[in-house]
Amino acid sequence: MTSKNKIYFKRQHFSYPYIIICVVFVVVPLIILLGYSLMDSHGHFSFDNFVDLLNSGTTYRVFGQTLLLAFLTSFICIILAYPLAMLLANTKFNRSRTVVLLFIIPMWINFLLRTFSLRELLSILGLGEGYFSVLIGMVYDLFPFMLMPLYTILSGMDKSYLEAGQDLGANSVQNFFKVTLPLSFPGIVSGIMMTFMPALSLFAINDMLGDAQLYLFGNMINDLYGLNMWNQASALAMIMLLFVGLIVLIVSRSKRASAFMGGEN
């Protein structure tokens, strides 16, 4: 075979299957979703779906409930995960890896089975269906997504920074706020993104653990699709998508600003 007949593969060629998958299963569905959201029930171009939703008090009430639940879930997850991640990062590697595995193993079980099991456990403990049960379910399901990025960044942190802080006279509390916490900021941001974003759209947990008083954004979208109100449901989904995109943009800017300030210091 002559050199003219040889096929040379470049590194970017291996990304083509991934690009094709993203276009087919991400870009095209989003375009279809946008198309439905910009049409009325007769198939005509219209912004009425967005206008009706934004003028509805129900939309804001449901969005407020969802936002509060997502915030509480992320807050509780980080309060529980950060001390545990620090403890595991300062433990012998084999032991810490075993403990982390114990938190990851439940993720290998089907999501519905985990939630049904949690519902039975809460029932045994005397906790009925309601807001508190949904919050427990959210934290239980999303906790590993907060723990893993925190553990990864804390276990890989250069301990010489802490030693330098001690040599300069910093105590353990000062070392934490001036060294550990700033260096772990990327892990905190990643953990919040991986818990807050899913918490905004999860509705199955509320269906199994919640009551009639708690109605979330995901439930509203699912119910609209179930009623064959595809245009309104697509518009609501696009509103959520835009909100999530706005949060990602703000977080990415805050990460760049933090990195810039760190570089100055």
What is the rounded CA–CA span in Å between residue 112 and residue 133?
A: 15
Give the pLDDT score at 1.
45
pLDDT value, residue 234: 92
pLDDT for position 73: 95
CATH superfamily of the 57-215 domain: MetI-like (1.10.3720.10)
* Residues above pLDDT 70, as percent of the chain: 90
The average confidence (pLDDT) of the chain is 84
Q: How far is CA 89 from CA 83, 95, 141, 153, 166, in A?
A: 10, 10, 22, 9, 19
Model confidence pLDDT, tens digit, residues 46-55: 889 898 888 8
- Three-class SS state of 45: strand
| Percentage of the chain lying above the pLDDT 90 cut | 24
pLDDT higher than threshold 50 for residue 261: no
CA 6 to chain centre: 45
- Dihedral sign, CA of 16, 18, 22, 25? positive
Residue 192 has pLDDT above 70, yes or no: yes
CA distance 244 to 234: 15
- The model's pLDDT over 26-73, given as tens digits with 9 standing for 90+, comes to 899 999 999 999 998 778 888 898 988 888 888 899 999 999 999 999
Q: Write down the pLDDT at residue 134.
A: 93
Q: Token pair of 83, please?
A: 């001390």
Q: What is the pTM of this model?
A: 0.81
Q: What pLDDT does residue 255 have?
A: 62
DSSP for 108-156, please give it: GS-HHHHHHHHHHHHHHTT--SSHHHHHHHHHHHHHHHHHHHHHHHHHT
What mean pLDDT do residues 111-120 have?
Answer: 87
Residue boundaries of the structural domains of the chain: 57-215
